[in-house]
Each structure stands twice: as C-alpha cells, then as structure tokens.
Structure 1
Amino acid sequence: MTVTAGESKQVVGSEELALWHVVRRAQARVTRALEAELLVEHDLALASYDVLAQLSGAPERRLRMNDLAERVMLSRSGLTRLVDRLQREGLVERAACADDARGLFAVLTDDGAVRLAEATPTYMRGVRAQFLGVLDERELRRCASALTKLFPDPDPDPD
C-alpha cells in the first residue's frame, strides 16, 4: 500500500499494516469487554470510570476540564456532557478556578471515590483477563518497552 502525504511517498508493508490492525482490534476488544463488565456490575460506563480514576489520582482529586479532556481522550464538549452526567449522579462536582475566572475544575466527590473503589476490582479483573493475563512476563516487558517508545513521557494514570 502506498500512502501519499504531500510530495513524500511511503510504502506501508502488509506486515506493518497487519500489526496496526491487530493493535486496533485488541484495543477495541479490551475496551468493549471492560465497558460491558463495568456497566453490568456497576452501571458505570468505561469513560466515566476513566474520569473518576483520573480525578482520584490528581492532587486534591481535581483537574482542570481541559487537562481532564486530554487525559481521557475526549473532546471538550464530550467531556462537558460526561461531567454533566457524573455531576447529576453526585460523583463529580465543578469548582471555579481561583486564578482563572473562565477556568473550571472537575472534582471527585466522596461518593465518586466510593463508586470508583467499588468498580476498580472489576476493572482490574477485566484488564487482567483481557490483556495482562494473556501475555507472559517476557511478552509484557517487550510490550511495555515498545509502547514506551511511542509514549516516552506517559501521563500520570492511577491504574
């Protein structure tokens, strides 16, 4: 397959493309399984779990909405809708930013922390069943090494 970007051309081999498709399918499969388990056992979507987990690991259990959107890989409008839902459920609240009148923080509530603590064993069990438990220690080290090359400065993640 030839990919054209401007005037430069790059040939992507079938093995490379196959690897990329496997990565995408693996991510989708693991995500679907985690989502299903969290919904069934805790009535909590995976994106909601991710927001609660990110807030839990942040100083004072709060993050600016822009920073949180980046960490959970949602658009600002998508995060706003999600935080609205979580706020209605009492899991998150918004707080004004003292040094930026337009800035808002999303803050994990005590109820949100409890809900996260209840859901985390299910989440971790799913991660182990779908990903970590499938690979042996050598494969895990190689996988971590390869992915670290793609993202050398990983963002802080409470998982």
Structure 2
Amino acid sequence: MTNRSTGMCPFSIVYTKIPNSVLDVIVLPKCKSKSASALIDNYTEFLSSIRSKIYSANAKYKPDADVHRREKLFKPGDLVLVRLKRERLPVGEYSKLGKRKWGPFPINSKINDNAYIIDLPEEFNTSHTFNVKDIYPYVPPDDGATQTHSVGTDDFLSGGE
C-alpha cells in the first residue's frame, strides 16, 4: 500500500525494492554483488528524494494545522493561572472535582516561546517550569489590584476552577 506523502510503500523505502511476490520467491536468481559505493550513492539519492517528498507533504498540511494553533506569549512579571495535573499535586491531594487552574502567579522568566518559569509557592513542591499549554493568562474579576496569596493544604480540597 502506498503512502500518500511519499508515493511509495514503507517496505520499498526501508529495503529499497518492491516486496517479493510469490513468483519472486519461487525462482531465486543468482546474486552478483555490485560495488558498495554505487549502492550507497543510489541509496543516498533515494533517501533524499523520499525526504523531499515528506517535506513537501508537510508543507502542504502545515497551513491547515496552523489555522487551529494559537500563539501564547507572556512577559516576565505577567500574572497567569497554571494548570496542575495529578502528577504535580502532592500525593493524596488530587480530586477529580477539585481545582484545575491555580493562581494567579507571576512569571519569573521565559525559557523560550514554549516554556516559562513560574514563581510558585513552596507548598506545591513541583517543578516551576511549565509548557505554554498549561499556562493561561489571568484576567482579574474587577479593576481592583490583584494580590497573589499563599496556598495552604486546605485549598487543595476546595473545588472551583
């Protein structure tokens, strides 16, 4: 079965030939070895053509994928909410009806566009580095000043967002 990106079946890409059929197995020709350099050159050229086909297929699908992608950029000092999964909470503190987003917490620094270091309180006892998919911008409920607060163990059990 041919792949729509490469136009070839995976077997022929890996083994550089079409898979054997029943007739090919019955009559096995005497194999004469070609020079290794010719084989390597052919295989290298073959892989580069496959690579270019995959790149062109990816370029074709990229605009459709980018339609659903949103870029989130934050600056150090911005207040954000962080999503804490079960693995990041203390043992026994996870509740499937409990809070999912915690905060607001300030951003300490930016590692790159995809990762940030968040100033979490010590009660969380987890890594301070978060992927951008787990960070949400904080929008205060009113125009008043926002204050970050310490998180106690009792807050883990209270429900909410």
TM-score using structure 1 length? 0.24
Higher relative contact order (CA 8 A, sep 6+): 1
User: Could you say which structure has the higher helix fraction?
Assistant: 1
TM-score using structure 2 length? 0.24
Please identify the structure whose Cα radius of gyration is greater: 2
